[in-house]
């Protein structure tokens, strides 16, 4: 084990290699030797070195070419050039290429040790800076994951465990439970946060006939309207992670091509004949039962098994009520800032009791919308009962209101008591949803397109209104 750091000496002269090895080993460093530029580059690629001592004049790959290759492999490599021909031009060229320093032969031992120590401090500082950037990225990407409940603590622990791996992750859970936030946390807690992007694909928002082009790209003229070549999202995500949201809605013909990407790590753009290799981690999410979709023939069994390597199941908000208070406070802070408001984060016990008693069919997204509405319409500096929707204040009225026996009339006005604007809007929405479902034979995806909604939003509204299909 190195006591102070790992040093690589690259020099074609055996005597010089022996001198530097003796000097540096005596100074507390672990030293490896290479006698050519090619050997030095290969050695550096196999082990992490803190400092490289590199001779300028060598046969084969010379010192400056080796320097370029080292910095291409590791842009933050600390390379000290050693030369017996220390002309001004050589030194300038080395510094321009990215050398840390240049030392002329013959040198003093103390000069070598001082320069190596300085290079080691530079390397340590760069490593600390990289780690700080990684920490800041993880913090910024995970700051929205507000959790106190034991189940969420287990999930966050699992995120940390699986993040460094390459394995595919399947995140299951109802709409609005925070599946994309967990996917982001996996990516930004992994080394891929440094090497590639986090790319999101929501198949509900992309027409099925364009989905393959979005995922895999296309060449010019591949189909009508393809006036220019386009890079696919898998290629954009190369080196990083791709998040396939609502993967259960991907058409069967696209599923087969997606399976190939997972198996072979390659894809072929539309209109092209040459496969392209990619290094992409796949994180998928769904709010449907994929096993049931497999039995119905709507989802490929082999793709399901490929996706289901590591499974994370997000609990609905009703099963993690310990998180409602910290989430509500978080959203108050967020919407105060966005709307220049000043609502206090403290929540009175009677209001917290209502929030924790409500079933939250729309999960965290519904809680977020509730708090945003309260912050925007607030006339006082704290959360009041009047700012909450009627179904939260009177959950007993909700059950059955919008089922099969719901009145067809969009407005039911009681002249003696007036009307509830939000209740009547809800009744109108329910009527539209029921009619769309009838016209499409109960097919939610087609009904969503008919209404101009994405399937996730429609599914959430069906659950929120307790619509009996």
Residues 187 and 309 in one domain: yes
Residue 36 inside a domain? The answer is: yes
Residues 99 and 10 in one domain: yes
Residue 145 inside a domain? The answer is: no
Residue 151 inside a domain? The answer is: no
Q: Model pTM?
A: 0.58
Residue 146 inside a domain? The answer is: no
Final residue belonging to a domain, choices 295, 314, 333: 314
Residues contacting residue 341 through CB under 8 Å, at least 6 positions apart: 335, 375, 376, 378
CATH of the domain at 57: 3.40.50.2300
| Number of domains into which the chain is organized | 4
Residue 136 inside a domain? The answer is: no
Residue 185 burial (CB count, 10 A): 22
Q: How many residues does the chain have?
A: 469
What phi and psi values does residue 53 have, to the nearest 5 degrees? -100, 115
Final residue belonging to a domain, choices 116, 131, 146: 131
Mean pLDDT in residue range 276-296: 91
Taking 90 as the threshold, does the pLDDT of residue 337 lie above it? Answer: yes
Residues 254 and 302 in one domain: yes
Residues 291 and 202 in one domain: yes
Q: How far apart are CA 216 and CA 199, in angstroms?
A: 13
pLDDT tens digits, residue range 400-429? 444 444 444 444 444 444 555 556 677 778
Residues 259 and 287 in one domain: yes
Residues 199 and 250 in one domain: yes
- What's residue 319's pLDDT? 93
CATH of the domain at 297: 3.40.50.300
- Select the more confidently predicted residue: 111 or 223: 111
Q: Which of 13, 15, 10, 20 is nearest to 77 (CA)?
A: 10
Taking 90 as the threshold, does the pLDDT of residue 31 lie above it? Answer: yes
Strand ordering across the sheet containing 51-55: 30-34, 6-10, 51-55, 79-83, 101-104
DSSP letter at 418?
B
- What's residue 403's pLDDT? 43
pLDDT tens digits, residue range 225-259? 777 888 889 989 999 999 999 998 888 888 988 99
Residue 189 burial (CB count, 10 A): 21
Residue 87 inside a domain? The answer is: yes
Residues 42 and 113 in one domain: yes
> 3-state DSSP call for residue 350?
helix
Beta-strand relationship, 6-10 and 241-245: unpaired
Residues 309 and 337 in one domain: no
Residue 410 to residues 211, 254, 424, 437: CA-CA distances in angstroms?
Answer: 37, 41, 7, 17
Residues 407 and 461 in one domain: yes
Q: How far apart are CA 245 and CA 305, in angstroms?
A: 17
DSSP letter at 221?
T
- Select the more confidently predicted residue: 224 or 276: 276
Residue 155 inside a domain? The answer is: no
Residues 297 and 328 in one domain: no
- What's residue 85's pLDDT? 64
Final residue belonging to a domain, choices 257, 289, 314: 314
Cis peptide, bond prior to residue 106, ω within 30 of zero: yes
Mean pLDDT in the chain? Answer: 84
Taking 80 as the threshold, does the pLDDT of residue 87 lie above it? Answer: no
Residues 70 and 124 in one domain: yes
Residue 154 inside a domain? The answer is: no
Residue 344, domain extent:
317-394
């Amino acid at each position: 084990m190195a006591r102070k750091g790992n040093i690589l000496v690259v020099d074609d002269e055996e005597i010089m290699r022996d001198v530097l090895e003796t000097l540096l080993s005596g100074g507390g460093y672990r030293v490896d030797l290479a006698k050519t530029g090619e050997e030095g580059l290969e050695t550096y690629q196999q082990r992490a070195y803190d400092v490289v001592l590199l001779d300028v004049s060598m046969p084969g790959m010379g010192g400056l070419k080796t320097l370029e290759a080292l910095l291409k492999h590791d842009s933050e490599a600390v390379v000290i050039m050693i030369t017996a021909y220390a002309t001004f031009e050589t030194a300038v060229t080395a510094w321009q290429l990215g050398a840390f320093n240049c030392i002329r032969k013959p040198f003093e031992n103390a000069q070598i040790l001082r320069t190596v120590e300085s290079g080691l401090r530079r390397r340590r500082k760069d490593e600390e800076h990289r780690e700080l950037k990684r920490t800041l990225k993880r913090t910024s990407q995970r700051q929205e994951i507000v959790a106190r409940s034991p189940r969420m603590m287990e999930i966050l622990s699992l995120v940390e465990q699986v993040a460094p791996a390459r394995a595919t992750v399947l995140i299951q859970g109802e709409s609005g439970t925070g599946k994309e936030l967990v996917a982001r946390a996996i990516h930004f807690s992994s080394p891929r946060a440094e090497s590639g992007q986090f790319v999101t694909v929501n198949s509900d928002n992309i027409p099925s006939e364009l989905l393959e082009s979005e995922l895999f790209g296309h060449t010019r003229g591949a189909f009508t309207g393809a006036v220019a070549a386009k890079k696919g999202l898998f290629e954009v995500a190369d080196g990083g992670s791709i998040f396939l949201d609502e993967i259960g809605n991907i058409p069967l013909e696209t599923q087969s091509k997606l399976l190939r990407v997972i198996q072979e790590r390659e894809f072929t753009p539309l209109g092209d004949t040459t496969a392209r290799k990619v290094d992409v981690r796949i994180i998928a999410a769904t709010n449907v039962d994929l096993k049931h979709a497999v039995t119905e023939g709507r989802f490929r069994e082999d793709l399901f098994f490929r996706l289901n390597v590591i499974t994370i199941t997000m609990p609905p908000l009703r099963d993690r009520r310990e998180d409602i208070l910290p989430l509500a406070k978080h959203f108050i802070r967020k919407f105060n800032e966005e709307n220049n408001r000043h609502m206090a984060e403290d929540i009175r016990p009677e209001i917290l009791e209502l929030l924790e008693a409500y079933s939250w069919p729309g999960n965290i997204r519904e809680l977020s919308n509730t708090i945003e509405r309260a912050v925007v319409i607030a006339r006082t500096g704290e959360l009041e009962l009047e700012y909450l929707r009627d179904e939260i204040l009177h959950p007993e009225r909700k059950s059955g209101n919008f089922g099969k026996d719901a009145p067809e009339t969009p407005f039911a006005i009681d002249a003696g008591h007036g009307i509830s604007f939000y209740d009547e809007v809800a009744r109108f929405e329910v009527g539209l949803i029921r009619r769309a479902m009838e016209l499409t034979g109960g097919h939610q995806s087609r009904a969503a397109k008919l209404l101009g909604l994405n399937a996730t939003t429609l599914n959430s509204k069906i659950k929120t209104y307790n619509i009996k299909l």
